[in-house]
Chain A
């Protein structure tokens, strides 16, 4: 309507400040010149790096040729199997020791505290070497009367790597699981008790599923580091992908080409895992209010 109805309480002669016609003007977004310049510089640097690699002393057809070589694929299989087994062992131990650390029983608590202290406090490489050389301490292993075996037969590179990586992982995962459990409101536990759940059922049905929201992101990161950590087992002769790549380049001297092959495979696995992590996180976020759900499908009302 008429602009003379502009607020009068401010004082006379100031109606221009509230000029209603401004509502019709076009909005111009802020210009981000800095971003454009930075992007251009980075793209130029990237192009130089790509050019250097393309023209460098790298025999790309050899990379292609070995990418699916039998020994690389079998090493890849071992890397994947070890990641799965070591992570499964690590998560199992992590949950177990997290529960023990929080237990009112001082013996269980003490054992768990010692475990976490020892395995977080020594280098992983040292632990691998310890497991692999356990035969020096215990030449024979077994339960008297039931079975017995020579330690060197039991402690194969696979078993030593599994124990080394899995048990070490458990010590870290225990702390992650513990903080996840602590993140769940105490009222949830009380409500679970009030409907007659025991301590363990409460943990399994109510607390752990909600703790998952906090646990999954760091454990996802740990799975991804585990994929790459398996490569240190090459020092005790476990035939994972990097070890097999090395075996090949000792023979044909194509060092960089085979390292690129391994790097490519690690990147592929990690990419797939990251996608999987995204979906897992979405699943465990259910009910947390951060996910917008479609309206519930209409239910037959009585």
Chain B
């Protein structure tokens, strides 16, 4: 099966910090990949590079068969323009740790903003779809609520619906439950499990090892900008081979 994301030897530094130190990874379509690892290990940076919120220093990333950020002409890679990069991002939906809902828009307006403004689709048709998405994340009653009137869990579910409204082929989640009160984590994970069951390709950075064990097809453990260990949830989370992985899992479960 054709992989939907291919990254080869991706490197990224911030000043003197090596955030990504030669990361290579492949994700087949329809799979759920969970990335775990200590804080500062480069997990967010990897997601952000895939979605071009950061520019990589070297290496290459392909998403859905397209080279990300550059056009190859002969032996040179030419940087894409702002609007070409925006078009490439349409393949991915992204969910942030801090939700980042548009504060001046209601839940419904947040969801239809992309389809209407970016994809120039008809408003009525988009609203119908948005209502189906709100229903799916269990928030039909909150369509006219502003983000400041929603709990963290509700905001994150709207954020997921907003990403899905663009009909992405790949969903990127960056610690979607880390900013939530413990009792609100479950409702967000439930929506994500439902999404995984529907066959969506997902890359999920998370500290929820239970979720990873239940939903992931593959788990990657990252540390200091590199992939230390990868394999099935069983292999990485239950019988890790590397000492660093064992230490991390022990620390999370403690």
**Chain A residues engaging chain B, CB cutoff 8 angstroms:** 185, 187-188, 190-199, 201, 205-206, 209-210, 284, 286-289, 293, 296-297, 299, 301-302
**Beta-carbon contact of A299 and B117 below 8 Å:** no
In the bound complex, CA of A286 to CA of B109 (Å)? 13
Q: Which residue of chain A has the shortest Cβ distance to B119 in the bound complex?
A: A196
**Chain B residues engaging chain A, CB cutoff 8 angstroms:** 51-53, 82-83, 86-87, 89-90, 92-94, 96, 98, 100-106, 113-114, 117-119, 131, 135, 140-149, 159, 162-163, 166
Q: Which residue of chain B has the shortest Cβ distance to A301 in the bound complex?
A: B140
**A-B interface, 9 closest residue pairs, ranked by CB to CB distance from nearest:** A289-B148, A195-B114, A191-B100, A296-B144, A187-B100, A287-B146, A194-B94, A196-B90, A196-B118
**Beta-carbon contact of A195 and B118 below 8 Å:** yes
Given the complex, which residues of B lie within 8 Å of A293, measured CB to CB? 146, 149
Q: Which residue of chain A has the shortest Cβ distance to B98 in the bound complex?
A: A187
**Beta-carbon contact of A188 and B146 below 8 Å:** no
Q: Which residue of chain B has the shortest Cβ distance to A289 in the bound complex?
A: B148
In the bound complex, CA of A284 to CA of B96 (Å)? 25
**Beta-carbon contact of B140 and A302 below 8 Å:** yes
In the bound complex, CA of A205 to CA of B105 (Å)? 10
* Minimum Cβ distance to chain B for residue A182 (Å): 15
**Beta-carbon contact of B104 and A195 below 8 Å:** no
**Beta-carbon contact of B89 and A193 below 8 Å:** yes
**Beta-carbon contact of B53 and A191 below 8 Å:** no
**Beta-carbon contact of B117 and A201 below 8 Å:** yes
Given the complex, which residues of A lie within 8 Å of B147, measured CB to CB? 287
**Beta-carbon contact of B103 and A191 below 8 Å:** no
In the bound complex, CA of A302 to CA of B141 (Å)? 10
In the bound complex, CA of A210 to CA of B148 (Å)? 14
**Beta-carbon contact of B144 and A299 below 8 Å:** yes
21 contacts between A and B (CB under 8 A): A185-B100, A187-B100, A191-B94, A191-B101, A193-B89, A194-B53, A194-B93, A196-B119, A197-B118, A198-B86, A205-B117, A287-B103, A287-B104, A287-B146, A287-B147, A289-B148, A296-B145, A299-B141, A299-B144, A302-B131, A302-B135
**Beta-carbon contact of B102 and A188 below 8 Å:** yes
**Beta-carbon contact of B104 and A190 below 8 Å:** no
In the bound complex, CA of A174 to CA of B186 (Å)? 46
**Beta-carbon contact of B146 and A194 below 8 Å:** no
In the bound complex, CA of A293 to CA of B166 (Å)? 30
Q: A195-B118, A302-B131 are in contact. Are A206 and B102 (CB under 8 A)?
A: yes
In the bound complex, CA of A211 to CA of B102 (Å)? 12
* Minimum Cβ distance to chain A for residue B54 (Å): 10
Given the complex, which residues of A lie within 8 Å of B96, measured CB to CB? 187, 190-191, 194
Given the complex, which residues of A lie within 8 Å of B162, measured CB to CB? 191, 195
Contact of A196 (CB < 8 Å), options: B86, B101, B102, B144:
B86
* Minimum Cβ distance to chain B for residue A184 (Å): 9
- Taking A191-B162, A196-B87 as given, write out 9 further A-B residue pairs in contact, using a Cβ cutoff of 8 Å, ordered by the A residue number: A188-B100, A188-B103, A196-B89, A196-B90, A197-B117, A197-B118, A198-B82, A205-B117, A297-B144
**Beta-carbon contact of A190 and B100 below 8 Å:** yes
In the bound complex, CA of A191 to CA of B48 (Å)? 12
Given the complex, which residues of B lie within 8 Å of A199, measured CB to CB? 82
- In this complex, the member of B53, B100, B105, B131 whose beta carbon has the largest number of chain A beta carbons within 10 angstroms is B100
In the bound complex, CA of A190 to CA of B51 (Å)? 10
**Beta-carbon contact of A194 and B103 below 8 Å:** no
**Beta-carbon contact of A191 and B89 below 8 Å:** no
**Beta-carbon contact of A289 and B94 below 8 Å:** no
* Minimum Cβ distance to chain B for residue A88 (Å): 23
In the bound complex, CA of A217 to CA of B236 (Å)? 56
Given the complex, which residues of B lie within 8 Å of A195, measured CB to CB? 89, 93, 113-114, 118, 162-163, 166
Q: A191-B101, A196-B87, A297-B144 are in contact. Are A289 and B93 (CB under 8 A)?
A: no
Given the complex, which residues of B lie within 8 Å of A197, measured CB to CB? 86, 114, 117-118
Given the complex, which residues of B lie within 8 Å of A191, measured CB to CB? 94, 96, 100-102, 159, 162
* Minimum Cβ distance to chain A for residue B68 (Å): 14
Q: A196-B166, A301-B140 are in contact. Are A287 and B82 (CB under 8 A)?
A: no
**Beta-carbon contact of B114 and A196 below 8 Å:** yes
In the bound complex, CA of A191 to CA of B145 (Å)? 19
